């Protein structure tokens, strides 16, 4: 009845529907595509319980998210890596909402069970190009990495010594011939469709379509990440400008850190900070 009445008044030019939209506060959050996978679920849960709040999630990459917050283009940013020295700012506040592991992944038919950090470094610098060089079948490798702006890529390269400093900037030291994927899901698709492929992905996105490989003899499990035994890991971070955040955004961050928010994070396969 209320909707019909409002529609009738609208036809008479007496109701301005933009007034209803003005009552809803939008929280814009952009950045890491790895974090956005879990943030989509958290935001949807929060939106359902807060009719006057809408959390809009945009997966743009960690670097883009950091830049967007610093420029004021978005209120909250997401990063799946620690900030680089040149990105750090005294007025940028970081809040860790979860832990994650980066998992080396291969095709399910691949017989390889473990790779060392030294072997992985050589694979991504094309010093190792055949699976037989690491105990596998005699077949050429198809190596997959993420795009430059990816927080997953930066954390991966930091952990396996694949970064170098040029002209005062930290840059990648992997081969330019490697296949590049823009998301975790694209890495999974490329690896699943090529029995010779190898890549890396967020632990929370690993499923039966790909096979996780041990790192330095340690299984990439939640328990091993918690204990610190599995070292190929990284944080999930939320960031905002210190002193320049709305009450609505503060309340949303409190939800992310709450028991309910952390339970959702664990149910999605990531590691709670609690």
DSSP string, 192-245: HT-TTEEEEEEGGG--TTSEEEEETTB---HHHHHHT---SEEEEEEEEETT--
pLDDT of residue 258: 98
pLDDT of residue 22: 57
**Residue among 71, 75, 72, 80 at smallest CA distance from 30:** 75
**Residue 202 near residue 247 (C-beta atoms within 8 A):** no
**16/39 Cα distance (integer angstroms):** 33
To the question of pTM greater than 0.85 for the whole model, the response is no
pLDDT of residue 6: 43
Q: How far apart are the first and last CA of the chain?
A: 47
How much is the mean pLDDT over the chain?
90
**Residue among 106, 107, 109, 74 at smallest CA distance from 92:** 74
Q: Which parts of the chain register pLDDT below 50? A: 1-21
pLDDT of residue 15: 41
Structure tokens at 184: 């975790």
pLDDT of residue 3: 43
């Amino acid at each position: 009845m209320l909707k019909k009445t409002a529609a009738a008044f609208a036809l008479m030019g007496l109701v301005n529907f933009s007034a209803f939209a003005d009552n809803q506060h939008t929280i814009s959050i952009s950045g890491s595509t790895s974090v956005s996978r879990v943030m989509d679920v958290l935001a949807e849960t929060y939106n359902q319980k807060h009719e006057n709040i809408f959390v809009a999630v945009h997966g743009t990459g960690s670097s883009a998210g950091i830049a967007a917050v610093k420029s004021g283009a978005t209120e909250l940013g997401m990063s799946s890596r620690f900030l680089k020295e040149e990105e750090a700012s005294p007025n940028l506040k970081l809040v860790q909402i979860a832990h994650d592991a980066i998992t080396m992944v291969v095709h399910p038919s691949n017989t390889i069970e473990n790779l060392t950090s030294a072997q992985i470094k050589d694979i991504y610098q094309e010093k190792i190009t055949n699976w037989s060089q690491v105990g596998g079948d005699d077949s050429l490798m198809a190596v997959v990495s993420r795009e430059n702006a990816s927080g997953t890529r930066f954390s991966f390269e930091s952990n396996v010594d694949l970064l170098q400093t040029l002209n005062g900037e930290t840059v990648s030291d992997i081969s330019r011939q490697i296949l590049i994927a823009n998301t975790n899901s694209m890495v999974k698709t490329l690896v699943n469709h090529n029995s010779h492929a190898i890549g890396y992905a967020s632990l929370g996105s690993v499923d039966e379509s790909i096979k996780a490989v041990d790192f330095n003899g340690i299984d990439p499990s939640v328990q091993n990440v918690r204990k610190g035994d599995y070292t190929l890991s990284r944080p999930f971070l939320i960031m905002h400008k210190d002193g320049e955040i709305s009450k609505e955004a503060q309340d949303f961050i409190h939800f992310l850190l709450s028991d309910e928010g952390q339970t959702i994070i664990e149910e999605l396969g990531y590691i709670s900070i609690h």
